[in-house]
Structure 1
């Protein structure tokens, strides 16, 4: 068969693989949020203790901050495919633990097993995300395809975040907790089967780090160059002043929409729709935006800040929901844009560690931001509205300075 025909067949195969892997990841993401919703309901119904809800979410997110560095180092040393497959098996095991906790335990013991399951999902998902960021570069035929494909995962993540919770609630009501959590666990089989039987990545492209000090997180920070270091630092600062809505979402929904049980669902859905819209725009223009870090990240920070300043006006609900849409779009483009830039422009050998550094910037800045916003809400005379005004002002200033200083910067 002519070489040109073989190349065309190979390109068609990799396109099929990319689509299949993306869909499998999306279904797994939706299953994760469905399972988290079901566990939260079970914890709240069993004990009536809101602290368990907070602990359930904290056990999902905090491991990312602690484990991202080691996950990046391991990915660069062992190879992204090996770490990704092991992480998927670990996700399946953690989800199965949540499912079997219902029939084999009750009361406090059941709560402990559910929380342990969430902790396992949090740790394993950190390794999964870090390895996946490096692995997707092995699925594209040309370097120009990497940016749009990476940005597609941001879209699919936010779609899963939007549809997962209502699916979890419906499954819980229709099938009961055991079957609902079992179906959640089953979704992790899809990426495993895809990776084991359908994927034929360009394994020869991957560059692994040697053991020793050269494989450390500090080495990746030094070797990535000043432009990418600036991207990581700016992302952390922007998250510090603008990424507090995940932690304060219930309070924001209460003040904006009232105490209705549907208020939080509507508020988070609007933010998710903003995130999806921003992800689609970024995916379609990934090649352009990945070369303009100052313009992308500075603009994203200004958009988020405008949403916060708009909420501080205490205008009608429709205006508030529009501002929530802006916050969702701004924060999504900041996080996805940072990941896009550091993956596309970092050397292949350090991309696992760069993914870990990116997650530390997201969650380090965002975690402190939530605590800071909560403290400002309690301390300032105007409460939440004054917090919006103060942090929105800082965010607007930070974004404008970035646009003025780095807006014309172009990466090769």
Structure 2
């Protein structure tokens, strides 16, 4: 029997640390790109386009990513995806010092697009890979939700770091930091981690390995979870795409104002993520209650942003939006993983990405168009009201529903 360099708990912590540092660099880079695009164009649609090109590739590639992960193995796909993330980030890092104007904006968007494509593969493979770092199935829910906490800590630290670097040195250093942090997960997976590879179940060739087979085979409960998440994200997950516009309108026009706004969003996300992580087993058994209540909180906070209040009020609403959306997204991922059999988990991760990132990418474009027509406050109020109706209906109709967790 082989002797691992590190115990499984140590490997889990190492993988979390590498992912968290990479996330911090990613958000520093996204903050820098958002500020460059906002200051260069002053066009909400262009700013929203950055999140759209980050998120919308999931509609096209998350399905194939899930199929590839289940067919060829999560570890192999994870490494490929991490090298893709590094390459995409380098495009942005090189665009800043070497180009300017419209070409620079186009290359920054191309960089984000490449990162979005690679991220779809990385997240799909990582979800299934996590199951190979736990000894018992009961540990999986807590470990998966730990990534939400670590992700949001990176989202909390990254934007002010990016804003500070932009203010002090310009955006080039922030984008270089973004690219360099992708090296850490590559090193950890290729050389340091030794997962329980024998536990992985792969799909066979043929119709049973398709995304459609996973959709049919996952059961009515998980299909409902995916449909609800996609619908709500279409109207309630626009803040990542419009964060620079929201910060400039509600807080101030500087890069550090953007860093403050996104950090408050992240602080709310951390709070919600920690509560979910500590109650992951119990909450995963009541999917409609978990997702409906988080959607309700998000909608109420969006309605609050429609009120012309002081700066502290805006930041409080941003905190609640971060809380609600983090629980919604992490909860969807948790439910679809622990509720599906191991052989389906790569494809379920792909379907989950299509639901929340695909819906979110479209939501950002929708909100940008409404903002240009009605203004930001009215847009937040209208979309918040629609989301409120969706959330309340889910809670009334399904809040007592229970999910049977997969045994493997």
The TM-score normalised by the length of structure 1 is 0.87
Which of 118, 122, 139 is matched with 2:116 structurally? 122
Structure 1: gaps of 5 or more residues: 1-5
Match of 1:145 in 2: 139
Which of 245, 265, 272 is matched with 1:271 structurally? 265
Distance in 2, Cα, partners of 1:275 & 1:317: 19
Match of 2:400 in 1: 408
Q: CA deviation at 1:171?
A: 4.3
Tell me, yes or no, if the aligned pair for 1:273 and 1:328 is still in contact at 8 Å.
yes
Match of 1:3 in 2: none
Tell me, yes or no, if the aligned pair for 1:11 and 1:141 is still in contact at 8 Å.
no
Tell me, yes or no, if the aligned pair for 2:48 and 2:242 is still in contact at 8 Å.
no
Distance in 2, Cα, partners of 1:334 & 1:198: 32
Structure-2 change in CA distance of 1:374 and 1:15 (3 Å) = same
Tell me, yes or no, if the aligned pair for 2:225 and 2:332 is still in contact at 8 Å.
yes
Structure 2: gaps of 5 or more residues: none
Distance in 1, Cα, partners of 2:270 & 2:130: 20
Match of 2:380 in 1: 388
Give CA-to-partner distance per residue, 1:103-160, whole Å, 9 cap, x none: 6666666555444333322211111111001110110111111111111111111121
Q: CA deviation at 1:323?
A: 2.0
Structure-2 change in CA distance of 1:371 and 1:37 (3 Å) = closer
Distance in 1, Cα, partners of 2:376 & 2:110: 33
Which of 392, 397, 401 is matched with 2:389 structurally? 397
Structure-2 change in CA distance of 1:48 and 1:203 (3 Å) = same
Match of 1:132 in 2: 126
CA RMSD of aligned residues (A): 2.9
Q: How does 1:16-31 map to 2 (within 5 A)?
A: 16-31=10-25
Structure-2 change in CA distance of 1:311 and 1:118 (3 Å) = closer
Structure-2 change in CA distance of 1:319 and 1:334 (3 Å) = same
Q: How does 1:31-50 map to 2 (within 5 A)?
A: 31-40=25-34
Match of 2:239 in 1: 245
Tell me, yes or no, if the aligned pair for 1:271 and 1:328 is still in contact at 8 Å.
yes
Distance in 2, Cα, partners of 1:190 & 1:159: 17
Match of 1:156 in 2: 150
Which of 145, 162, 172 is matched with 1:168 structurally? 162
Distance in 2, Cα, partners of 1:48 & 1:371: 16
In the alignment, structure 1 residue 322 sits paired with structure 2 residue 342 = no
Greater Cα shift, 345-354 or 166-175: 166-175
Distance in 2, Cα, partners of 1:319 & 1:106: 38
Greater Cα shift, 14-23 or 151-160: 151-160
Greater Cα shift, 11-20 or 295-304: 11-20
In the alignment, structure 1 residue 79 sits paired with structure 2 residue 73 = yes
Match of 1:61 in 2: 55
Residue 90 of structure 2 aligns to a residue whose secondary structure is helix
Match of 1:348 in 2: 342
Match of 2:221 in 1: 227
- State the structure with more CA Rg: 1
Structure-2 change in CA distance of 1:346 and 1:403 (3 Å) = same
Match of 2:190 in 1: 196
Q: CA deviation at 1:403?
A: 1.8
Structure-2 change in CA distance of 1:308 and 1:240 (3 Å) = same
Structure-2 change in CA distance of 1:10 and 1:284 (3 Å) = farther
Structure-2 change in CA distance of 1:350 and 1:180 (3 Å) = same
Q: How does 1:277-292 map to 2 (within 5 A)?
A: 277-292=271-286
Greater Cα shift, 145-154 or 392-401: 392-401
Greater Cα shift, 104-113 or 222-231: 104-113
Q: How does 1:358-397 map to 2 (within 5 A)?
A: 358-377=352-371, 383-397=375-389
Q: CA deviation at 1:93?
A: 2.5
In the alignment, structure 1 residue 236 sits paired with structure 2 residue 227 = no
Residue 56 of structure 2 aligns to a residue whose secondary structure is helix
Q: CA deviation at 1:92?
A: 2.0
Structure-2 change in CA distance of 1:71 and 1:284 (3 Å) = same
Give CA-to-partner distance per residue, 1:352-383, whole Å, 9 cap, x none: 11111111111232233334434545566xx5
The TM-score normalised by the length of structure 2 is 0.88
